[in-house]
Amino acid sequence: MPIPARGLSITTTPPGLNTTTTTMDLFTLELIKNLSVSNVRRKQCLKHLRLTDPRDDKVRIERTKGGLLRNLYRWVLNNADYQQWRDDPQHRLLWIKGDPGKGKTMLLCGIIDELCGIINELDQGDTANARHCNVAYFFCQATDSRINNATAVLRGLIYLLSDQQPSILSYVRSEYDRAGEGLFKDANTWDALSRILTNILRDPSLRTTYLVIDALDECVTTDLPQLLDLIAQQSSRSSRVKWIVSSRNSPQIEEQLEIATANLKVSLELNAESVAAAVNAFILYKVNELEGRKKYDLTTKKVVHDYLHSNAQDTFLWVALVCQALAGPEVKKWNTEEFLRKFPPGLDALYARMKQDISLSHHSDLCKRVLAVAAIVRRPISLQELTTLVEMPNIVCDNRESLEEIIRLCGSFLTLRDQTVYFVHQSAKDFLLGNASDKASNQASQENWIFPSRKEDVNYTIFLRSLKAMSIVLRRNIYGLSAPGFPRDKVEVPDPDPLATVRYSCVYWVDHLYDSVSGTNTKRHDHLRDEKIVYKFLETKYLHWLEALSLLQAMPAGVIAIRKLEGLLGGNDQSQLSKLVWDAYRFALSNKSIIEQAPLQAYISALVFAPRGSLIKRNFRAEEPEWIRTKPAVELDWNACLQTLEGHSGSV
């Protein structure tokens, strides 16, 4: 309610006192109001900035890898290059590099903990309990499109810095208050975020700051050179900001980081003795675990330990995969040694053995379909999403234990955490895609194993199954919201979630359609003709899809998807599908903001205020609210102003 332009009397009765009247003047009220608005705006800014919380990613990674053991990383704390980086103000960039499976990610997790431990010690000794340092970090993951690009790295670093030193959020707010959420999602996001981070790092009030980025090689988009250039430049400027990055051995990364002055390197291959000692400690830890689980006698324990020690080749991942297999229910104490001998030394050889075992199993075809989808999808998918994208028996789809068993049958290529399917390591996906480090590996052979014809076929299957599933699942008010204006940020996801099986499909179906028609398969191009499956979906389910996108907080992705679909049609303005997609794009662009805020407004204000000639308005006329008796006067067509905003995904 508006505050009147005069004093406001508030009566309070403190305990033990008579009623008193306190008058707050307008200035005080305005101050309180402004502070409240600013706090809300701050929370909105942080919410939109957050793509993922790197702290949660770190917890997940450590849990997936069996926990962080100090014995496995403490050697680097005594490394001369690390200590020089830590103590010398002139050395501000440390690059940790090594081959796959050598423990780079866990090494960085340990370093992050050590840096945070230093901060805690400083804080405890400070009577004002002031935080002396910031530690911001990011874990790149090639298999997840949300965290495999340079823009995501900057969002993660800025998010953690803003959380640890709140005053620096002002650099984000200065641009966010003008552009809104589009600041983080439009074509200029990299430039805006790199400018913001640069300004933050130049701030004289910035505390000593450590920035850690893991797996630069898993930043697979074309903007990696920009990120490397930013790191090289910024690490040469401020002695209060220190960087640690990790990657596989890469000439491209090395060349760009060489630009930085006084940079340091820790090569895991050149520190083979230290890495070997850490791997041996890991072997001992895993063998002790197996001893407790499998009730090994001393002889069996020694056999397992010696075999792992002789064949690990200083690779943590190899040890972890073999021990995971030994922990399986089919391995007994009496056949442990026989089972153990099946695992050859070397990651690629181990992957080849796993592939052979799958090929010989009764479930080979299903496992290959699962692996093919896992290798193609743009983020890790849940078990429920997997049932949508992969053809499998109904008895499997409806049983969680059966689904978990299917993942186990995929050898050790995949792992399951929190009901979500992940590749056990990027090198496992690389192997299946024919990018194995062993040059003797035949790329065509590897790809043909999970893609019997082509990758386009898998994309086509994902697209087709997604569209069919969405056509069945999506409906108006799928979450049963109580009012047309029910705000998105107040929505509680029902249990069970009716969108659980199509969450991935809602966001990525157009991407997979796009990737499936890159060839000349006329059958797939037929889907882009009038009266075919895409046309039918947009004609009957478009508003239901927009509602779902809002509930999934993915409206910007939906707008981009429709624009991508428009481009896929190649500007064929004469077809009915092209006209429908053109109209659908303008409808989404015009109503993106209101549908984001209140999902059911897709059927209310979005329809009511759509132009009379809108095809979406015509197709969904039955969805318009009956309680609006006098409809507003609207234009015949989308106005010219809206059309000039094409390609602008931010707020205006």
Integer Cα distance of 363 and 370 in angstroms: 11
What does the DSSP assignment read for 176-219?
HHHHGGGGGTSTTHHHHHHHHHHHHHH-TTPPEEEEEEE-GGG-
Record the tokens describing residue 45, joined without a space: 């800014």
pLDDT of residue 330: 87
C-alpha distance across the termini of the chain, in Å: 27
Integer Cα distance of 112 and 116 in angstroms: 6
Record the tokens describing residue 260, joined without a space: 């930085």
Strand 263-267 and strand 93-97: pairing?
parallel
Q: What angle do CA 481, 485, 487 make, to 5 degrees?
A: 75
Let me know: does 109 contact 389? Beta carbons within 8 Å: no
Using alpha carbons, list the distances in angstroms from residue 375 to 258, 325, 405, 429, 450: 33, 22, 19, 6, 9
Let me know: does 245 contact 92? Beta carbons within 8 Å: no
327-364 pLDDT tens trace = 988 899 899 999 999 999 999 999 999 999 898 888 89
Low-confidence ranges of the chain (pLDDT < 50): 1-24, 29, 31, 33, 35, 127-130, 436-441, 444, 522, 642-652
pLDDT of residue 27: 53
Integer Cα distance of 348 and 434 in angstroms: 11
Integer Cα distance of 255 and 247 in angstroms: 13
- Which CATH fold would you assign to the domain 54-270? Rossmann fold (3.40.50)
pLDDT of residue 125: 52
Q: How many residues does the chain have?
A: 652
Integer Cα distance of 434 and 449 in angstroms: 10
